[in-house]
A and B are shown apart, each in its own frame.
Chain A
């Protein structure tokens, strides 16, 4: 019989080291230069100079406010859209139909979504073209700042469009548990309206499962670089993209300042998380005080419609953006204000494929390896912990999510320095490791719930007929979980493809992926090539999700019960 000893098991130690090691080392590597200590560049003394220089930078407070405001507002708005829509429509056919649209949108990397959105809503973009010149009279693109608006409204919109599918799927996963349907019935039979039932009975039970993903969204959105570079303001830019610019500045003192800025970014994101946690407390206290009032709120037809609208809008925006990327890749000439290209060409697309083939291959290699390793490690960790009957909710959970709860930039700067010192900067292995830090938490997020919901009696039944632990894992648990394992692999691959900053910083320009290329090209004038690279970002995640859907239905085509497994 498995004994739970005080000694931690190998996979736990390994994974904790893998995640906390680089994060803590990277953080040290950011803190020391922030206080003027960077021996490789000849800075040996501790001084407050980088901090002072940072605080003297013009527009710093504006940058901080932008990062904080756009990130926090985009996150809360995304959650609100998801929850109100789910409250009003879950269990209906409309809900099922929109779910089918939203799931594939999850695999669209941030940069690709931002580029598509830019092509859609820019002054020279598709929407303006549709109504020009016949309605607007524009013969040339109007001179208004839609993209890169100084308030960061477009950037917020871009973040919302991308985070809504993510939070929505997290909510769906959280709702997928026994008895949820009965709670809906209980609410309705007590006379409560659909939305009241969701917010008062269902959400309080499933919110703990949505919370960590939400915190990760806040940490990400307040420190995002790629979306900010494509859609965000420039005068000044939000904090994170400015830091990256300083880091790549030929003036080496700027590097120290960038490190100090990375610490400031850590503070900004932490403050945003804190504000959110306080808001969360207030809302739940306000909510709890209303349990007792007995108000049924049965007439929620208007609220339901109001909840449907933003969701439909986001699905439409994203779908149109991606369609537009497709059109741009085969457009030979497409002058304003034509709504469609004047001339089409597939040759340039094939040419660009030739040029982009190298980046695509690098992206694929990193994604497959990172996703494979992350999925295998997750399985190892889950199996070992459940074999030893260790609780699922523990400190390990928090540690696993640590890299997602901190702004990437705050420890990637330091990590880059360390890799430079070790001569690893710009190597494939270093980039792979950096990806793994961010991919693993998502793999764990995707797989731990299905694992814990697998009926433990299957393993007991197998053990009772003498199966070894190895056989139970390979012949019982793994086949039963084939579908979620493949989905996990696909999610992990999609996360790896979407990584911009880790590839940029650790790859040091020598490892180039379709994502770093497309962000670099987005600001350039060549829309065809930018669109093609953005589209290439979609190829790998999409292939992954199609495989994850097809393989189990082929493998289990004669097993009715396996089709119900999610």
Chain B
């Protein structure tokens, strides 16, 4: 990559999103490669909207100011498909009309032309997350945790330069959750990706062992106002 280390990572510069003229939140942040910024906040505080803005999907009802800079490149006005930002949702969202393998092949960049090489990459990815032998399965027949792992590999195979996660573990039970979470964090660090993680679960934040940012209207949000993760008692 051409970016100098000083530029490396994801920078949110004076990002502010408003709905009907009223500000939802403000945030100023720098997430270095391999680091995880956990975003927490009440339901409706604008967490998903922040991710939408960073990925380039903010709906026209919202107004936003500020800049998104990834490895030194200003992405604010770049169309979503050209941002190279990977997304994971609350549900794994595997494409139901494709097999597990096709889901993965779909993500591999076209620059890799050879069929056998593409296939090899996809199979290797499956193997990496302990799903060797699942390649021809119908995604609908996989368990929730397995689907999330395939979705993660699909996201990573597209060679993203940053990762946005919107409550990706919330559909998993406690045990699976810890496993899948550790896997996601490990791979993100290994690939040197800056990560924005939205979650309701303080444990996720603790496991990310990075910074935690609370979205709300009152505090203008520099990442200097980090709080240590604390247990939020059932407020939703």
- A93 at interface, CB cutoff 8 A: yes
For residue A280, give the distance in angstroms from its CB to the closest CB of chain B.
14
Binds B, one of A162-170, A288-296, A384-392: A288-296
Whether A189 is near chain B, meaning CB under 8 Å from some CB there, is yes
Give how many A-B residue pairs fall within 8 Å (CB-CB). Answer: 81
Q: Is B57 an interface residue (CB 8 A)?
A: yes
Partner of B107 from the list A204, A294, A295 (CB cut-off 8 Å) is: A294
Give the residue of A179, A188, A294, A295 whose beta carbon is less than 8 angstroms from that of B80: A188
Q: Are B107 and A182 in contact (CB under 8 A)?
A: no
* 26 sample A-B contacts, Cβ–Cβ < 8 Å, listed by A number: A179-B93, A182-B89, A182-B93, A185-B55, A185-B80, A185-B89, A186-B93, A186-B95, A188-B80, A188-B81, A189-B155, A189-B160, A190-B86, A190-B106, A190-B155, A191-B81, A193-B81, A291-B98, A291-B102, A291-B106, A292-B106, A292-B115, A294-B107, A296-B81, A296-B109, A298-B81
Q: Mark A166-205, 1 if CB is under 8 A from B, else 0.
A: 0000000000000100110111111111100000110011
User: What B residues does A205 contact at CB under 8 A?
Assistant: 95-97
B interface footprint on A281-311 (CB within 8 Å = 1, 0 otherwise):
0000000100111111010000000000000
Asked if B158 is an interface residue, CB under 8 A from chain A, the answer is yes
| B-chain residues with CB within 8 Å of residue A204 when the two chains form the complex | 95, 97
Q: Specify which chain B residues have a CB less than 8 angstroms from the CB of A201 in the assembled complex.
A: 95
> Shortest distance in angstroms between A207's beta carbon and chain B's nearest beta carbon?
9
Q: Is B85 an interface residue (CB 8 A)?
A: yes
Distance in Å: Cβ of B236 to nearest Cβ of chain A: 19
Out of A93, A186, A291, name the residue touching B87 (CB < 8 Å). A186
Q: A291-B102, A294-B108 are in contact. Are A189 and B93 (CB under 8 A)?
A: no
B60–A93 CB distance below 8 A: yes
Give Cα A181–Cα B105 distance, bound, in whole angstroms: 22
The residues of A that contact B32 with a CB separation of less than 8 Å are: none
Residue contact A292 to B105, C-beta cutoff 8 Å? yes
B residues within 8 A CB of A179? 91, 93
Chain A residues with a Cβ closer than 8 Å to the other chain, count: 26
Whether B96 pairs with A293 at a CB distance below 8 angstroms is no
Give complex CA distance A291, B95 in Å: 11
B22, CB-defined interface residue at 8 Å:
no
Collect the chain B residues with CB atoms within 8 Å of residue A293's CB: 110
> Is B9 in the interface zone, CB < 8 Å from A?
no
B84 interface contact, C-beta 8 A: yes
Q: B69-105 toward A: CB 8 Å interface, digit per residue (1/0)?
A: 0000000000111111111010101011110001001
CA distance A186 to B86 in the complex (A): 8
Complex formed: what's the CA distance from A293 to B114 in Å?
A: 9
**Chain A residues, CB < 8 A from B107:** 190, 294
User: In the assembled complex, which residues on chain A have CB atoms less than 8 Å from the CB atom of B221?
Assistant: none
Residue ID in chain A nearest B159 by CB atoms:
A191
**Contact (Cβ within 8 A) B82 A191:** yes
Given contacts A291-B102, A292-B106, contact A185 B112 (CB under 8 A): no
Residue B213 CB within 8 A of the other chain: no
- Which B116-172 residues have a C-beta within 8 angstroms of A? 118, 154-155, 158, 160
Closest to B112 in A: A294
Nearest CB in chain A to that of B57: its residue: A185
- 7 A-B pairs besides A185-B89, A190-B106 with CB distance below 8 A are A183-B95, A188-B57, A204-B95, A292-B115, A293-B110, A294-B105, A294-B118
Instruction: Give the complex CA separation of A475 and B226 in angstroms.
Output: 51
Cβ–Cβ contact A188 & B105, under 8 A: no
Q: Give B119's nearest chain A residue, CB to CB.
A: A292
CA distance A188 to B106 in the complex (A): 12
| A74-107 near B? 1/0 per residue, CB < 8 Å | 0000000000000000000100000000000000
Known: A293-B110, A294-B109. A189 touches B95 (CB 8 A): no
Residue of B nearest to A293 (CB): B110
Which of A183, A187, A191, A205 has the most C-beta atoms of chain B within 10 angstroms of its own C-beta?
Answer: A191
Q: In the bound complex, how far is the Cα of B36 from the Cα of A398, in angstroms? A: 53
Residues of chain A within 8 A of B93, CB atoms compared: 179, 182-183, 186
User: Considering the complex of A and B, which 8 residue pairs feature the smallest CB-CB distances, nearest first?
Assistant: A292-B105, A188-B80, A189-B87, A204-B97, A294-B110, A190-B158, A295-B110, A188-B81
Are A200 and B55 in touch, CB under 8 angstroms? no
B102: shortest Cβ distance to chain A, in Å?
Answer: 5
